[in-house]
Structure formats: structure tokens, C-alpha cells
Structure 1
Amino acid sequence: MTEFSVAGVRITRREVLGALAAAVLINLVGALGVPFTTPDSAWFQALDKPWFYPPGAAFGVVWTVLFSLMGIAAFLVYRHGVENRAVRIALGLFALQMVVNVAWSPAFFAAQELLLAFGIIVVLWALIVATIAAFSWVDRRAALLLVPYLAWVSFAAVLNYSIWALN
């Protein structure tokens, strides 16, 4: 089996493929909210947005990178073995936060419920913090890979709240 050394860590070709597969899988799960995401809709275009609202193209790029990091993080935890209780808890929290993540788009765009969407993102933020803590018990690198996700969701929460407050 071919081994590589990345940042002093030895990994096999199989592990690289597993991490890539996990990144693709998490991107596919994250994409479940895309059909509900309608930033070009008349409703969304009519909303007042804060001065710090990023360009629309940024969202797709940022989420793709974040979902990829999340997939790699989940793989790093998974490879410690699901027979390990800490791994099962960490992956359970990860799955739960993914469900809540996907629920945000329908609440915000389809239901047009800005305050409900803000409530969902607050719950998501708390679940990400819990997931980072659980991941850190299994693999600190995996926990660190979720920090950019927490930062982006923090920004998204401020953005969601600001849009609600302006409208």
C-alpha cells in the first residue's frame, strides 16, 4: 500500500481516497439546501441588506471549501473506529448539525421566515461548538478543521440577524 507523508503525518492512498470521498459526500449533503436557496428571487432582491453583505459568488466558494474541510474532519474522526463511544458521539453530533445546517435554507428562502432562520442558525452554532468539542476528544486536527466553519456560521448569523432587523 502506498504511503505519503503530509506535514509529518504518514497516510495511505486508501486514507487519501477516504478523505476525498468524505469531502464529496458532505458537499452532496450540504447541497440538499441548494434547491431552496433563491438569492435571485424577487423577494430576496427586495430585502434590505447590511453594508457587509458579501458578493453572491462568495457563498458557493466558501461553502464548498467548508464542506470539504468538514468531510475531511469527519473522516479523521471516523478512522478512529465507530466501536469507540467518543467517535459515535462525535459523528452523531456532526450528523445532527448537518441536518440543522440543511434546514436553514428552506426556513430562510422558501418559508421566508427570517427570524425562524436566525433561530436555526443559533442552534446550528451551538451544535458546531459541541461537535468541535466532541471531535477534539478524538482527533484535535479534525476539531481544528471545523473552526473556519464556526467562523463562517458566526458571520452568517450576524448577517441573518441584520437582514431580519433591516426588514
Structure 2
Amino acid sequence: MKTDWKKLALAVAIPLAVGGLSALLTMDNMVMFDAVKKPPLAPPKWLFPAAWTVLYVLMGIASYSVFTADAPSGKKRASLIVYAISLAFNFLWSIIFFNLDNYLLAFVWLCTLWLLIVIATVQFFGIRRTAGWLMLPYILWVSFAGYLNYGIYLLN
């Protein structure tokens, strides 16, 4: 299969844009993150944008891989819809956590996001294994984010 570079670029740009807009809308409130008590294993603040950038690129490549797979269009569409919903949940989590300072709601929201990511990943695996593998770091990072989110809720 030949790579369609325009479609790949768009597929990668979508999650990067979602993450970028989320960061833009929450950056004024991220100073609070320095002030809150954090659980053990909390990474330095600089690691978050670096990790998310890598994850967004991997997610975009995974979605492109599904979009271009030789699979039934209904199956691809269903998995990409779940993926798109997970992007929306990802976007809104930052607003709930940073702008609203509602750590409990953010944790519940993140648990729902995690479930959506797992569903999308399973669906991606069913369409193209590589796409599923590319989503696994996202699941792991959001699992860790759940630990951090819940820890911040408990400590603050």
C-alpha cells in the first residue's frame, strides 16, 4: 500500500490540533498545577507536553492506518467514531481539570476517556494490528494520568 501523505498529515494534525487548542485554552490556569500537592511519581511539568505530542502523533498514525485499511467501511467508521469521541473527551478533560479545578469530575471523565480509548484500541486491533499497537502508549499514559488525577483529588 502506498502512503497518502496528505491524508496521513491530516490524520496526525487532527489530534495535534485538539491537544494544541486544549493547551491554549488552559494555559492560563496551568500555574495552579505548580501549587497543588501531587502524588509520588508525579513527573516534571515539562514532560507532559512532550509526552502528549508523541501520543498525538501515534494516535494520528493509528487513525490513518485504520482509515486506509482494507476492511469493511462500517467497521472502520465505527472505530473512527469512537476514536473521535475519545478526542473530544481528551480535549474536555483539560478544561475540567485545569479551568474548573474539579478534580473528582475530571477523574470520572478520565475513566470514561480510558474506556473509550480501550474500545477504540480493540476496534483498531480488529482492523489493523499496527493501529492497535500504536494506541497502547495512549492507554498507558492515560492510566498513569488517572493515578495522578486521583492522587491530586485526594491530596487537595
TM-score scaled to structure 2, two decimals? 0.91
Q: Could you tell me which of 115, 122, 125 is aligned with 2:104?
A: 115
Q: Tell me, yes or no, if structure 1 residue 27 matches structure 2 residue 16.
A: yes
After TM superposition, give the deviation of residue 39 of structure 1 in Å.
6.1
Give the % identical residues. Answer: 35
Is the CA contact (8 Å cut-off) linking 1:37 and 1:105 kept in structure 2?
no
**In 1, Cα distance between the equivalents of 2:8 and 2:134?**
13
**In 1, Cα distance between the equivalents of 2:111 and 2:26?**
20
RMSD of aligned alpha carbons: 1.8
Q: Could you tell me which of 89, 94, 100 is aligned with 2:83?
A: 94
CA displacement, residues 52-74 of structure 1 (integer Å, 9 cap, x when unaligned): 11011101110000000000000
After TM superposition, give the deviation of residue 124 of structure 1 in Å.
0.4
Is the CA contact (8 Å cut-off) linking 1:77 and 1:135 kept in structure 2?
yes
**In 2, Cα distance between the equivalents of 1:40 and 1:135?**
33
Is the CA contact (8 Å cut-off) linking 1:114 and 1:164 kept in structure 2?
yes
**In 1, Cα distance between the equivalents of 2:28 and 2:127?**
38
Partner of 2:64: 75
Higher helix share: 2
1:115/1:103 Cα in 2 relative to 1: closer, same or farther (>3 Å)? same
Partner of 1:156: 145
Q: Which has the higher contact order (CA 8 A, sep 6+)?
A: 2
1:86/1:149 Cα in 2 relative to 1: closer, same or farther (>3 Å)? same
CA displacement, residues 17-46 of structure 1 (integer Å, 9 cap, x when unaligned): 4323311222012222112145642x4332
**In 1, Cα distance between the equivalents of 2:128 and 2:92?**
27
Q: Tell me, yes or no, if structure 1 residue 106 matches structure 2 residue 90.
A: no
Structure 2 unaligned regions, length at least 5: none
Which protein is bigger by CA-based radius of gyration? 1
Structure 1 unaligned regions, length at least 5: 1-10
Where in structure 1 do 4 or more consecutive aligned residues deviate above 3 Å?
A: 37-40
Partner of 2:41: 52
Is the CA contact (8 Å cut-off) linking 2:19 and 2:91 kept in structure 1?
yes
Equivalent residue pairs, number: 155
Task: Tell me the SS of whatever aligns to 1:80.
Answer: coil
CA displacement, residues 59-98 of structure 1 (integer Å, 9 cap, x when unaligned): 1110000000000000011113796110010000000100
Higher strand share: 1
TM-score scaled to structure 1, two decimals? 0.86
